[in-house]
Amino acid sequence: MQCAAVLSAAQAASTAPLLQAQLLGTVRRAMATSLLRIPPPQALLRPLVVPERLLLGPGPSNVPQRIRAAGGRQILGHMHPEMLQVMDEIKAGIQYAFQTQNQLTLAISGSGHCAMEAALFNLLECGDTILVAINGIWGQRAAEIARRLGANVYELLKPPGEYFTPRDIEEGLVQHKPSVLFITHGESSTGVLQPLEGLGELCHRHGCLLLVDAVASLGGAPIFMDQQEIDVLYSGSQKVLNSPPGSAPISFSERAREKVLRRKTKPRSFYLDIGWLGNYWGCDGEPRRYHHTAPINSFFSLREGLAMLAEIGLESSWERHRANCARLCQGLLSLGLELFVKEEKARLPTVTTVRVPEGYNWKDITAFLMDNHAMEITGGLGPTVDKVLRIGLMGCNSTGENVNASAFEALRRRPLWQLPPQQAVSSPARGARGRRCSNSLRAWLQATGSRGTPLPPWDAGRRHGNTQQARQEWERRSWNSRGHGGESCTQQT
């Protein structure tokens, strides 16, 4: 008790270093007479530091004040009727965002990976066959999880930056006869938007369920779960929904629910058992039972994120992301930069991938933007590491301001996400400045242009006078060295 009292006094005095040191001395003396041998960590006796940053990477995206306030509300009991009401509202919001009437619709208490596992753990039993479409890291992750479940995993491969055609998919379905096909709608490691038209119908014709990852695309690009006959769809909270990470919308079609009901064995995970979760979320018409203590405040935030999407409307959200992404791409091209995804219609409106300019190190670029503009953009991920920079414009961050305003001006202003919506909409500065993201990059190009930076691996080709060929060869080798074959081939793992 004595230690605790002194400790809290030390915490209260955390802004006065001398007093803090004296109090810590008292804590140490008190500890000498107690059983404690590990002192309170110094870092925890100082106030929490969270710098202001503009998060224009592939997620998380900035959280607007309204959603932060929701997450900071007083907690409720996880089975209180008011909490169950909030969960019902989240469910309705997900049904709207997914465009589905599925009853088995809820939010997983975990990040996007957790929803990916929830889908695979419930759909697959040991010995089931799954075909995983891999054109970036998310297919690789799904294949890894499915292998851990003892499923027969077949990989359908495309080089990063490309998408699958219905013909590619049909060939895989005919060859491998899977019971589940996994595909990523918004491939955030490569910046590709996968067309989904016809895939559900195709899968069903071949006795297969369609599982889609829409973590990076939901709200930013059209998706229609029921009309596109998607069987399991999941997303994340921290991208277009602008909520903190840690909750993940998911929905199961009737076909998917029946497959789960027909299982011979229980899902390997109790935490992610969709039967239990569906009951807790009131999806099965039975009295709701305690399954786990929901992350109540994360659900408050998610509820507000979904409410904001409902207020804006899906169609205008899709259009906003499309238009801002197109403007960003134009800005990048006008700087002489090369976009990683060649086909315009295949570009993911939420995450744009741009090739690291030849002769530059991507880490210099991201560090420059962070140090000088408090702005995050990131390097590549998985197969695009060292090759691309990724720029995310998601939810409230997908604004003309973030594309259009000059970085220097913008940094002097209050960041847009702190403004109330009316001010953000009627801002007189809109369109009056240069390009924020691309101007930051221009500033970086100017600042580092004369500096000798390490050459990229393919640059050896420059010495032989054929950079383009050397780069293509390097990319082919680095993709294949991760165990992938050539273009659009399949292999069993």
- Residues at the interface with ligand PMP (CB under 6 A): 58-59, 111-113, 138, 184, 186, 188, 213, 215-216, 236, 245
Nearer to ligand PMP, 214 or 329 (CB): 214
Q: How far is the CB of 250 from ligand PMP (least distance, A)?
A: 12
Nearer to ligand PMP, 64 or 136 (CB): 136
Are 142 and 472 within 8 A, CB to CB? no
Nearer to ligand PMP, 113 or 206 (CB): 113
| Locus of tokens 């081939």 | 489
Nearer to ligand PMP, 71 or 456 (CB): 71
What distance in Å separates the CA atoms of residue 207 and residue 205, rounded to the nearest whole number?
6
Residue number of the CB atom closest to ligand PMP: 112
How big is the chain, counted in residues? 493
Task: Write b or e for each residue in 193-211: b if 16 or more Cβ atoms lie within 10 A of its Cβ, otherwise e.
Answer: bbebeebbebbeebebbbb
Q: How far is the CB of 108 from ligand PMP (least distance, A)?
A: 10
Q: How far is the CB of 55 from ligand PMP (least distance, A)?
A: 12
List Cβ neighbours of 46 (8 Å cut-off, separation of 6 or more): 14
Q: At what angle do helices 81-98 and 296-312 cross, to 10 degrees?
A: 40
Nearer to ligand PMP, 216 or 410 (CB): 216
What distance in Å separates the CA atoms of residue 101 and residue 78, rounded to the nearest whole number?
25
Are 100 and 252 within 8 A, CB to CB? no
Are 15 and 29 within 8 A, CB to CB? no
Q: How far is the CB of 59 from ligand PMP (least distance, A)?
A: 5
**Neighbour-count burial of 31, counting CB atoms closer than 10 A to its CB (0-12 exposed, 13-18 middle, 19+ buried):** middle
Nearer to ligand PMP, 198 or 245 (CB): 245
Are 388 and 379 within 8 A, CB to CB? yes
Nearer to ligand PMP, 112 or 331 (CB): 112
What distance in Å separates the CA atoms of residue 130 and residue 179, rounded to the nearest whole number?
6
Q: How far is the CB of 138 from ligand PMP (least distance, A)?
A: 4
β strands within 235-311, DSSP E: 248-252
Q: How far is the CB of 389 from ligand PMP (least distance, A)?
A: 15
Segments in 177-295 forming alpha helices (H): 199-205, 254-261, 274-280
What distance in Å separates the CA atoms of residue 291 and residue 298, rounded to the nearest whole number?
17
Q: How far is the CB of 92 from ligand PMP (least distance, A)?
A: 23
Nearer to ligand PMP, 40 or 245 (CB): 245
Q: How far is the CB of 58 from ligand PMP (least distance, A)?
A: 6
Q: How far is the CB of 256 from ligand PMP (least distance, A)?
A: 19
Nearer to ligand PMP, 20 or 366 (CB): 366
> Three-state SS for 252?
strand
In the chain, count H helices and then E strands: 19, 15
What distance in Å separates the CA atoms of residue 479 and residue 467, rounded to the nearest whole number?
18
What distance in Å separates the CA atoms of residue 123 and residue 136, rounded to the nearest whole number?
22
Q: How far is the CB of 190 from ligand PMP (least distance, A)?
A: 10
Alpha carbon of residue 99 to chain centroid? 20
What distance in Å separates the CA atoms of residue 39 and residue 61, rounded to the nearest whole number?
36
Nearer to ligand PMP, 337 or 348 (CB): 348
Q: How far is the CB of 134 from ligand PMP (least distance, A)?
A: 13
Short-list 265, 357, 246, 252, CA closest to 305: 246
Q: How far is the CB of 136 from ligand PMP (least distance, A)?
A: 8
User: Maximum distance among all alpha carbons in the chain?
Assistant: 75
